[in-house]
Amino acid sequence: MSELIRIENLHVAVGDKELLHGISLTVNKGETHVIMGVNGAGKSTLLHAIMGNPAYTVTSGKIYFEGQDITELSVDKRARLGIFLSFQSPVSVAGITMENFIRTAKTTVSGRQQRLFPFKRLMKQRLSDLSMDPSYAERYLNDGFSGGERKKSEILQMRILDPVLAMLDETDSGLDVDAVRIVSKNISEFHNENNALLLITHLNQILRFIQPDKVHILMNGQIVQTGGPELVEEIETHGFDSYRTAEGM
Amino acid sequence: MEKILINRLPMLTYRHLHTNETEIAFPQQAKTADAVFSSLALVRPGGSLPDTFQGASRETREAAAAGPACRIDIPDGTEQELTITVALKEDRPDYAGVFLFRLGKKARLNLTWKWTGTGKPGRCCTASSYEVGEEAVLRVSKIQTGMENTFLCDQRECRIAGGGQADFVSAELGGGDTIVHSRGELDGDHSVMKESLCYAGTGRQRLDLFYHITHHGKESESLIDVRGSLAGQSRKIFRGTIDFKRGCSGAEGTEGDYAVQLDPGAKNISLPLLLCTEDNVVGNHASSAGQLDREKMYYLMSRGLSPEEARRIAVESLVRPVIDRLEPSLQEEALQDIRTKLNHKGE
């Protein structure tokens, strides 16, 4: 499997406060990585740093995507390379419909004009895949959506934009049991040997449907353990206590 | 060029803030264009402004009154549509005029204003008086584009009887200096007046917006909603007053002024004011000014949109609630004009 993203000794800060203290991680195409950890461990910070959120400053370290150094690249350029982040709390944007927004985004990231009727068909199909009413296409982006609907909207965007690296930040939180199953099915259908998934989750529901290749435990801004799917079972049984003790937390 | 004072606040604040009124250069009028009516059947020449009509200033009121006057009467229980176009031309870059509207009981009027013209320096001053009868409904949509070197002054006063409604929606996109002066008198119980306006200031455009809605009637309602963006060296000042008079119990008024400043040279001043001599009322006011929401910009750019595209979408999302309330045939033109202006925002 070829390397998709490589993170080398990444240090990230907000203002004077360093939040990540030397993260190194490699994700290959076709893989699914899960990041677990207590609240405030730095999981979301890591995903936002990969996405290029200007609120976070990379103080040292490098991020390589398909061999290219993207550490200094702007958010939109990273997105156009095929990096996608499903937000934990997606913002709403009244004034632009879901369909118009996603069509504009698809045109931008693919570099190809999206013809109206084929795009409408694709949109309708993907909404159906997520058990969403077709009328959502005409609603303003995430405007008036419930928490669960916003999470589905993120997965809808992921499926249509078809990124190479999809990072999902607690996509399963706020979803009911049926919605977790539907969203998980969509993630599974999206995933193939040419792309990779990087998931943050506190719940194990989604991992009943998606088999991780690697699981990383993040504590206090550092990866303290990496293992296989068995780590999920261990965390579910024992929690993070042993890692807290080791970290002196 | 003569300097005049316009849009004086009803309750003055500290003089050193220089916000009580605006001093502005008032150009001379030259050759005037004509107003074009979609139907002359409703229009009668003649008439004069009510003695109580104030306008932005004495000078601007007199300038409007120097032009032709016309009356538009909508009889009781009837429904009419009317479009008035003021198109300023190269050889006739000015306009002045008085419009007197009267809606009878349960009458309805859908009125569309189109102001447009070239970049030739000019002056356009209008004064409009609206009398809305019992349970009558007045809907006014206005779009104003081009005329980037024109002094525009739209003065209106609206008096609404019991159960009557007046809804003004404007896209003030053009003009060099754009002055809006609107007064509303909610005389009757359950009367309603709404004022919504969007703008996209660029270059050295200046907007001076004044609203004063007075509640007299019980359970009357008012809304002032102003939204837009300021780029380049553009400036905007908002003076919005909702005035609850004794006896208007159960009345509710809301005013909001929301501005995004796209460039450091842009300037915004917001003066929302609530006056009240009645206990049992609800008054809400809000204003926000600043740069675009960083979180929203980040979200939009995380989907591949360039900073320029993300900014356009963010501005559109701000003004869209006003655009959506415009008469449908004006909505696309307003959006296109905003997009064009955002593409050339500093010019």
Return the pLDDT at A247.
Answer: 61
Return the pLDDT at B1.
Answer: 77
Q: Which domain holds residue A148?
A: 3-247
* Mean pLDDT, all residues of chain A: 93
Whole-number Å distance between alpha carbons of B325 and B169: 7
Residue among B304, B306, B316 minimizing CB distance to A96: B316
A223-232 — which CB contacts under 8 Å span 24+ positions?
A223/A23, A223/A24, A223/A25, A231/A36, A232/A34, A232/A36, A232/A204, A232/A207
* pLDDT tens, position by position, A132-171: 999 999 999 999 999 999 999 999 999 999 999 999 999 9
Nearest residue on chain B to A76, judged by CA atoms?
B304
Contact A96 B313 (CB under 8 A): yes
Token reading at B24:
């502005």
| A14 contacts on B by Cβ (under 8 Å) | none
Residue A65 scores a pLDDT above 80 = yes
Q: Is the pTM of this model over 0.90?
A: no
User: Does B316 touch chain A if contact means CB atoms closer than 8 Å?
Assistant: yes
Number of domains in chain B: 1
User: Quick one: pLDDT band at residue A49, thresholds 50, 70, 90?
Assistant: very high
| B319 contacts on A by Cβ (under 8 Å) | 95
Helices (H), chain B: 58-65, 294-301, 307-323, 328-343
The residues of chain B scoring below 50 in pLDDT are: none
The tally of CA atoms less than 13 A away on the side-chain side of residue B217 is 23
Return the pLDDT at B101.
Answer: 98
Collapsed DSSP state (helix, strand, coil) of residue B110:
strand
User: Quick one: pLDDT band at residue A207, thresholds 50, 70, 90?
Assistant: confident
Number of domains in chain A: 1
* pLDDT tens, position by position, A169-193: 999 888 899 999 999 999 999 999 9
Return the pLDDT at A95.
Answer: 81
Helix-strand-coil split of chain B, %, nearest 5: 15, 50, 35
Q: Taking CB atoms and an 8 Å cut-off, how many pairs form between chains A and B?
A: 73
Collapsed DSSP state (helix, strand, coil) of residue A31:
coil
Residue among B298, B313, B314 minimizing CB distance to A75: B298
Q: Which domain holds residue B238?
A: 2-343
Minimum distance, in Å, between the CA of residue A108 and any CA atom of chain B: 6
Minimum distance, in Å, between the CA of residue B50 and any CA atom of chain A: 40
Nearest residue on chain B to A103, judged by CA atoms?
B303
Selected residue of A51, A56, A74, A75 to mutate for chain B interface (largest B Cβ count, 10 A): A75
Residue A248 scores a pLDDT above 70 = no
Contact B302 A93 (CB under 8 A): no
Return the pLDDT at B16.
Answer: 77
Label residue B319 exposed, middle or buried (CB < 10 Å: 0-12, 13-18, 19+).
buried
Q: What is the CATH number of the domain that holds A188?
A: 3.40.50.300
Minimum distance, in Å, between the CA of residue B298 and any CA atom of chain A: 7
| B303 contacts on A by Cβ (under 8 Å) | 79, 101-102, 105, 108-109, 157, 161
User: Does B335 touch chain A if contact means CB atoms closer than 8 Å?
Assistant: no
Using the structure block, give the residue that is written with the tokens 């499926």: A159
Residue A34 scores a pLDDT above 90 = yes
User: Does B320 touch chain A if contact means CB atoms closer than 8 Å?
Assistant: yes
Residue among B294, B309, B313 minimizing CB distance to A93: B313
| A154 contacts on B by Cβ (under 8 Å) | none
Return the pLDDT at A237.
Answer: 86
Return the pLDDT at B291.
Answer: 87
Whole-number Å distance between alpha carbons of B39 and B46: 17
| A11 membership: H or E segment, kind and range | strand A3-14
ipTM of the complex: 0.96
Q: State mean pLDDT over A80-84.
A: 98
